[in-house]
Amino acid sequence: MLPPFRGATRQLILAALAAFFGLAVLGLVSPPLAGTLIVWTTLIPALALHWRLWQLVTYPFAGEGLLSVAFALLSLWFFATSVEDERGPRWFADYFFATTIFGGLIASLLTVTLGARNGEIPLVATAGLWPFVLAVMVAFAYFHPEQPVRFNFLFTLKAKYLAAIYVLFYLAVSLKGGDRFGALVALMNAGCGYAFLRLAPRRGLRAGASERWFGLRNAYYRAKRRRAAKKFTVYMKKQGKDVSLDAEGRYIDPNGTPRDLNDRNWMN
């Protein structure tokens, strides 16, 4: 049974398909232009860290072979749908951008730093959705470690073992093919995915940042209200009158009438 095709997973898959077929058509119409576009969208550390920062977002959609794209999108469809259902489309979008950007950034910084130490920055590049697919596998195994999954329609494995197989197999293939930078990017994506799962707010980075901002804003206004209440109390005492205010700076009825906190007439 196929998983539902919806939400942020669908948008990501459609974007990857549009990029793949768009580059394929452009390659037939104008090969030089297609080559230039691939260079501009592929993650190249020597360029990405020198004003081509957009490569940290575009490299999942840059050139790959047909079979590689097909298997990556199928894996993404099967496993990302479950992860998105677990946490929601906003969280999944945050997960994509966090793992893709920080995974690519850390790998690029390591490559440039080690190259500079050896006296030469290597001109390496990588592209494709597989690093993010591995991050999705890490998330799937994190949420459902004991869930049995049929592997290649032949035998069943627990999700945690399947995720380990995906990561190790991709690293082995990349290293055997001489793509050490691609293996590093995939490893950093998986690592950033695990860090995101452990450290990020449950509702995602944007929701967490919004809650933190409104919390700070409300704390500022409460402090401002308390300062104003103290000044008002001092002023009323100079006028020979005593007033009672609660800890939040709100007026307390001297007659002892209970105050309904939901009644806006009590608010100053």
> Is-contact 127 42, C-beta < 8 A?
yes
Q: What angle (nearest 5°) sits at the alpha carbon of residue 113, between those of residues 191 and 64? A: 55
CA separation for the pair 38, 59 (Å, rounded): 9
- The full set of domain ranges for the chain reads 7-200, 208-266
State mean pLDDT over 80-93: 92
Mutual angle of helices 89-117 and 7-29, in 10-degree steps = 50
- DSSP single-letter state for residue 53: T
The domain 7-200 having CATH identifier 1.20.1540.10: the answer here is yes
State mean pLDDT over 186-196: 95
Distance of CA 164 to the CA centre of its chain: 21
What single-letter amino acid sits at 237?
K
CA separation for the pair 173, 65 (Å, rounded): 15
What's the confidence (pLDDT) of residue 149? 83
Confidence of residue 268 (pLDDT cuts 50, 70, 90): very low
Whole-model pTM: value is 0.77
| Lookup: tokens for 193 | 């995915």
> Is-contact 150 97, C-beta < 8 A?
no
**pLDDT single digits (tens) 155-189:** 788 999 999 999 999 999 999 988 999 999 999 99
What single-letter amino acid sits at 223?
A
